[in-house]
Amino acid sequence: MANRSANLWTVPILDRPAEDADAKPMVLPTVRALAPRLAGRSLFYLSSQGTGDGLWRFEDGKAVEILKGSGEALFEPPAVSADGRQLAVVLRRDGKLHLHVLSADGGDLQSLAEPLDIRGSVCWSTDGKWIVAGAIDDRGPGLFKIPLDRSAPVRLVAGTARDPVWSSSGDLIVYTGANVSVDAPLLAIRADGTKVAFPAIRVRVEGQRYRFLPNGLALVYAQGPFPAQDFWLLDLATKESRQLSRFKNSGATRSFDVTADGKQIVFDRVRENSDIVLIDLAR
C-alpha cells in the first residue's frame, strides 16, 4: 500500500554550503504540498484532498484551493506572471496537454495555443505578454513563445525542449534539451532564439530543477544522486558554480523557487513510502 508524502521546506542561501540543520519545514494547513511557486506574499503549490493534485494559494496564514484536482489533476507547477495577477497551468484535454491561463484567485480559466501539445512546465515573460513552453506541433517538438493576444506561437528552437525559465532581465531563457537516460543538459537562448554558450550542466528530467535569482544574475539548480538533490549557484557572468547545500536527508526534491529577496530557497521533499498490508479474506 503506497503512502506518498510531500512537504515544503526552506533553506537560506549562505556563503557556505547549507546543512540539514539549516533547512526548516514550512507549516501549511494542507496535508501535503509540492511544486512551490512564489509571487509577492502568495505561495502557490500543488496539493490534494482526493485523487489528484489541485492548485492552492497560501497567503496571510490561509490556504485556498483555487483549481480543484478532482476533475483534472495537475502534474506541473503553475507559472506565475511577474505582477502575480495571472497563472498558467497545463491541463490534459482530449488526449493532449494544453496550456491554460487563469487569474490568481482561480477565475477566468481560458485555453491558449490549442494546437500545441505542451511538454513540461512553462514560464512567463517579465512583461506578461508571452509564455514560453516546450511543446509539439505538426512540425514536431520545439520551444515556443506563446503570445497572450492569441496570435500564432513563435518557434524558437527545433527539437526536444522542456521546462523553460525566463530571466527577469528578459534576455535569457534556460531549458533542458533531449535526455540521455535519467538526465538532460541545460541549454540557453536569447528571447529571439539565438543560441547562448552555457556551461556543461546536466539535471534529472523528472521535476523542475533550476530557477533564476530575482536579479537575473545567477541561476540556482539542483543536482546530485537520486533521490536527494543539492543546490548549486551558477554565476552567469563568470560561468562558475558553487555548492549551496550539502544535505543528508533522503527526501527527493523535484521542484523549488527562490524568494523575492534572493535569500531563501523554498523546495519540496517527496517520499515514496509503502507498507505491506495483510488482508484477511472471509471464507
pLDDT score recorded for residue 71: 66
- What distance in Å separates the CA atoms of residue 274 and residue 3, rounded to the nearest whole number? 5
> What are the grid coordinates assigned to 208, written together?
523542475
CA separation for the pair 43, 24 (Å, rounded)? 16
pLDDT tens for 219-238 read 999 998 776 789 999 999 99
Domain range summary for the chain, segments of one domain joined by +: 1-23+213-251+261-275, 28-72, 75-212
pLDDT in tens, 19-34: 999 999 999 999 889 9
pLDDT band, residue 2 (cuts 50/70/90): very low
177 C-beta neighbours (distance < 10 Å), count: 17
Which option is the CATH number for 75-212: 2.120.10.30, 2.40.50.140, 1.10.1200.10, 3.40.50.300?
2.120.10.30
Grid coordinates representing 25 are 519545514
* Cα–Cα distance measured from residue 117 to residue 134, given in angstroms and rounded to the nearest whole number: 9
Is residue 21 classed as helix, strand or coil in its secondary structure? helix
Please report, to the nearest 10 degrees, the dihedral formed by the alpha carbons of residues 116, 134, 75, 254 taken in order.
180
pLDDT score of 257 more than 90: yes
Cα 224 off chain centre by: 18
This prediction's pTM: 0.90
In this model, does residue 142 exceed pLDDT 70? yes
Phi/psi for 22 (5° steps) reads -80, -20
For 20, the 3-state DSSP assignment is helix
